[in-house]
Amino acid sequence: RKEVEQDPGPFNVPEGATVAFNCTYSNSASQSFFWYRQDCRKEPKLLMSVYSSGNEDGRFTAQLNRASQYISLLIRDSKLSDSATYLCVSRGAGGGNKLTFGTGTQLKVEL
Amino acid sequence: NAGVTQTPKFRILKIGQSMTLQCTQDMNHNYMYWYRQDPGMGLKLIYYSVGAGITDKGEVPNGYNVSRSTTEDFPLRLELAAPSQTSVYFCASSRGEATEAFFGQGTRLTVV
């Protein structure tokens, strides 16, 4: 089983739609979690950290459920510029606190 | 405002050649990482370092070597390049535990 699993998509949605991505992680010792965004042929960039209490940044909301080892990202009022691959990331305990990446979920927002 | 800088951006190597991918960061981060990303795949950790003089293997270290003589620099060495090493290589750094990682723009390597 992969340490971080995501639905690869692609998710094709119309502009203005709400879309949700899910992610599960297998290492219960994982300490922190992030959503990164990666545009085609570019480096990953942090979208937001994920906190147990849930957190919101504008149109983006992230949730963490430690009991179910589940992370989600909700994007409201999708824009064309949201088209990208969204990477779910966990940071483990020890071993350099390395980041483990999911394979990413591709989002395409269409007119 | 440079952040993480990787050079070169592109490189074509012949089988059996060697090269060093350079990575430097100006944020005084202790943690540095090398990842590779194959088409349609997630990032896989090659090597990482928690500080100058300390390095350790990640998930896919075979065929690579690293060194960390300074806080700023974390070069990745490919010895005897093979077609399986064709990939995009990303260097990243982070301040410490539970903090985000910042990535360089990547090096696209093709081995022919």
Q: Give per-residue pLDDT as tens, A86-102.
A: 999 998 765 556 788 99
State residue B84 phi and psi, 5-degree precision: -65, -15
For residue range B8-32, what is the model confidence (pLDDT) as tens digits?
Answer: 999 999 999 999 999 999 999 999 9
pLDDT of residue B39: 81
pLDDT of residue A8: 84
**What would the two tokens of residue B79 be?**
């010895």
Q: What is the mean pLDDT of residues B43-51?
A: 93
pLDDT of residue B57: 94
**Is pLDDT larger for residue A59 or for residue B95?**
A59
pLDDT confidence band for B1 (50 / 70 / 90): low
With contacts defined as CB-CB under 8 Å, which chain A residues touch B50?
A: 96
Pairing of strands B43-51, B54-57: antiparallel
Closest residue to B100, CB basis, from A34, A42, A104: A34
Cβ–Cβ contact A102 with B under 8 A: yes
pLDDT of residue B98: 64
Closest residue to B98, CB basis, from A43, A91, A102: A91
B103/A103 CB distance under 8 A: no
Sheet arrangement for strand B64-66 = B4-7, B19-25, B76-78, B64-66
Q: What is the mean pLDDT of residues A48-67?
A: 92
Q: How far is CA B45 from CA B42, B59, B77, in A?
A: 10, 5, 15
